[in-house]
Amino acid sequence: MTATKVDLLVEKAMTLSADTDDKASIAELRGLAQGDESSLEQAMQASLALPLSLTARHRAIELLARARYEDPSLPSGRS
């Protein structure tokens, strides 16, 4: 079975959830999404259903949401 873009985004967000460099993590997710905002939205929803800790899911969803909704040209509050 071939992984979809949504699957790849979820997997990458979960991997990056332990990383402390938000800017790099968000940039990597944006690059993987290639402007596909629908896939980012679907990845956020898919992350909710994962059988992982709430903390890990929260962090992954936060990164996906920031990749989807933050303007990359504006400075962020976290580094």
**CB of 24 within 8 A of CB of 8?**
no
**Owner of token pair 């940039």:** 27
Give the containing element (helix H, strand E) for 57: helix 54-69
Provide the pLDDT for residue 5: 94
Residues of the chain with pLDDT under 70: 1-2, 75-79
Provide the pLDDT for residue 78: 52
Provide the pLDDT for residue 76: 59
Provide the pLDDT for residue 72: 78
Say how far apart CA 66 and CA 79 lie, in whole Å: 13
Say how far apart CA 62 and CA 64 lie, in whole Å: 5
Provide the pLDDT for residue 3: 76
Provide the pLDDT for residue 2: 59
Cα-based distances in Å from 47 to 37, 67, 71, 72, 74: 15, 14, 22, 23, 26
- What is the 8-class DSSP label of residue 16? H
